Amino acid sequence: AESYEEARIQCISKVEAVIAECRRTNLLFLDNHFDIENDLFANQDSNRQLDSSTYPFEPPKSVHRVPWIFKDPQFMTDSSSGYDVKQGVGGNCWWIAAVTTIAHRQDIMEKICVARNEACGVYGFVFHKDGGWISTVVDDNLYLSESDFNCDDEVYDPTGDKARFHKAQNQSNSEALHFAKCSSKNETWLPLLEKAYAKVHGDYQSLNGGWYSNAIEDLTGGVTTVIPGNGVLDKDRLWSEIMASALPNSTFVFGLSVSANGANFHRNGLITNHTYSVLTATEVTNEVGYTSRLLKIRNPWGENASQSVGEWSGPWSKGSSEWTLDIMKKINNESLNNGVFWMSFDDVLDNFKWLYKTRLFDDHWNLTQKWIQTSVPWVPTLLPTIFLVDITEPALVVFALSQVDSRYFTDLQGRYYFTLQFILKHRESGKVICECRAVNPEDNWSISCEVNLDCGIYEVVPRAFTSIESGRKSPLEVLKVWSYKNPSKLQKVGLQHDLAYS
């Protein structure tokens, strides 16, 4: 869709059409385009990628509808919050952390969770993809970690008591879910949102591994600046932006990640190769007049983080000496569970490799985009296409250069990896305003810069080059194998590929 409003209307229309069909047929909605129930014991197309020879996590064991799983299901109880969010099986902490960051923002959540009808089992969501808005609907079937009770010759259950006990113990409420789940035992918004996000990417496995910046942009349509923790010039300026993100309807949200250091866990409790959410920030003054800058952070594992694994263990951690009675009166730390902890601003910069600052856009912004197709050389080269931007009055301008998101068609991505850069300069004088490149070379799907510009015409000159990613198969190799092994899944992935490049 060309605008969010158009995607929202499309989403509502899809849900209304499903409701009408359900009432006509007197049947619950079954999503034939993402049928996790019927393919559970077949190819598992909804769960696995096309070439899933190295399936990275324990597969689900059963599928049931929301009313079967939950005694008193509720999409949201009152409102969502970051404390609701718990990561399930799989390596999608990058996405879970992004959801945690925005879950308390009802203005954002209402733009994502657009329409639903629990009675029919249909839910509609809107996401941002490759510069535009898309809508999708899903049914209320969800994956469970435990198999159904098996009544056979060895397990005699004439009264059904054993089956009911098995369900109550293993297949009921949020904890029974295989993937993401809410902390509340009856809430369903998170697993259904995750299912919709998996659907638009083809399967759940496609969500394994990623960057917070990609997820938060998919959820909000914002633009993310990646900031190295050890490379901040003006810490006061960054702190003021983090503080502003704690305000209602703020234009910023923040996330954090720890890079690998050769060990499983960071020396101060934080997990390497893992993403965290910033919930809020505050300043507090102690008894002797010293003011500390503090961030409230959450591990997306939530209560799954046993014995506080994955939580900060340094100053301002749970039970540390910094938490005097005076400080505890000033800061409500009752919610220091469910993966939540506090850190000082300086410790955040010292211990997190990357900070993600996402700018959100409201109706006061003018947004425009242009996609091009071009040949990418093997060495860094300025591309022949130049974007001209005419600034008619002084303004803060955000520039973003993106490539097509290959997560939607990972199996057909091929062996090539593209690195993006761009130069912004004043057209008349030739003065270079900024040179933009990825701060994190591995997080290179989109790069951006913010700059205050005076009136005038400016040139954005893209630069790109190609690398070969070892271990990946060419599209031809994938086609040769899967055109007869699983042609239906190949067709779906191929359609995503063709749509992305159309």
Supply the pTM of this predicted model: 0.92
Is 261 one of the annotated active-site residues of the chain?
no
Give yes or no for residue 355 having a pLDDT over 70: yes
Per the CB < 8 A criterion, the answer to whether 359 and 450 are in contact is yes
pLDDT level of residue 24 (50, 70, 90 thresholds): very high
> DSSP E strands: which ranges in 84-212?
85-86, 113-117, 122-129, 132-139, 141-144, 181-182
Element (H, E) at 73: none
Spatial separation of the C-alpha atoms in residues 399 and 128, rounded to whole Å: 17
DSSP-assigned states of every residue in 116-152: EETTTTEEEEEEEETTEEEEEEEESEEEESSPPP---
Q: CA 269: distance to chain centroid? A: 23
Strand boundaries in 427-455, DSSP class E: 432-437, 446-453
The predicted model gives 98-115 an average pLDDT of 94
Bigger pLDDT: 177 vs 303: 177
- Residue 95 corresponds to which tokens in the numbers above? 């996405």
Residues ≥6 apart with Cβ < 8 Å to 31? 137, 138, 139, 141, 199
pLDDT, the chain, mean: 90
pLDDT digits (tens, 9 = 90+) for 148-201: 988 565 677 888 888 899 999 999 999 999 999 999 999 999 999 999 999 999
Give the separation between CA 361 and CA 252, rounded to whole angstroms: 9
Q: Which of 38-47, 261-270, 347-356, 389-398 has the lowest mean pLDDT?
A: 261-270
Please report the pLDDT score of residue 264 as a whole number: 52
Q: What is the pLDDT of residue 48?
A: 83
CA angle 177, 180, 185 (to 5 degrees): 55
**In angstroms, what CA-CA distances link 84 with 113, 182, 249, 270, 306?**
16, 5, 20, 21, 17
All structural domains of the chain, each given as residue ranges with its CATH number in brackets, are 4-41+57-211 (no CATH), 222-358 (3.90.70.10), 368-500 (2.60.120)
Taking CA atoms, 347 is separated from 68, 76, 344, 363, in Å, by 46, 35, 5, 36
Task: Enter the tokens of residue 72.
Answer: 């008193």
pLDDT at 147: 92
Answer yes or no: is pLDDT of 308 > 70: no
Q: Average the pLDDT over each of 154-168, 304-318, 394-408, 467-481 and give the range with the smallest value.
A: 304-318
CA-based R_g, the chain, Å: 24
Q: What order do you get walking across the sheet with 354-359 strand by strand?
A: 223-228, 354-359, 252-258, 274-285, 291-298, 340-344
Buried b / exposed e over 160-183, threshold 16 CB at 10 Å, is eeeeeebbeebbbbbebbbbbbbb
Look at residue 334 in the predicted model and tell me its pLDDT: 60
Among 38-47, 49-58, 86-95, name the one with the lowest average pLDDT. 49-58
Q: Which of 223, 280, 334 is nearest to 101 (CA)?
A: 280
Predicted local distance difference test score (pLDDT) of residue 376 = 85
Q: Could you tell me which residue, 478 or 458, shows the higher pLDDT?
A: 458
pLDDT greater than 80 at residue 302: no
pLDDT at 335 > cutoff 60: no
| Catalytic, out of 274, 338, 351, 486 | 274
Residue 14 burial by Cβ neighbours in a 10 Å radius (0-12, 13-18, 19+): middle
Contact at 8 Å (CB) between 389 and 460? yes
**pLDDT number for residue 146:** 94
pLDDT digits (tens, 9 = 90+) for 235-276: 999 999 999 998 888 999 999 998 765 555 566 889 888 899
What tokens does 306 get? 């046993």
Is residue 327's pLDDT more than 80? yes
pLDDT of residue 265: 59
Mean pLDDT calculated for residue range 478-488: 84
List the structure tokens of 290. 């010293």
Per-residue pLDDT for 78 more than 80? no
Q: In this prediction, what percent of the chain has a pLDDT beyond 70?
A: 95
Q: Which H or E element spans position 293?
A: strand 291-298
Q: Which of 19-23, 37-41, 120-124, 418-422 has the lowest mean pLDDT?
A: 37-41
Our answer to whether residue 33 is catalytic in this structure is: no
User: Would you tell me how many other CB atoms lie within 10 Å of the CB of residue 420?
Assistant: 20
85: nearest Cα among 302, 306, 271? 302
**266 noted as active-site residue:** no
Statement: residue 353 has pLDDT above 90: yes
From the candidates 47, 64, 92, 93, give the one annotated as an active-site residue.
Answer: 93
Exactly one of 173, 299, 351, 444 is catalytic; name it: 299
| Helices H / strands E in the chain, number of each | 12, 20
Distances (CA, A) of 442 to 183, 271, 403, 446: 32, 19, 14, 11
- pLDDT given for residue 262 in this prediction: 53
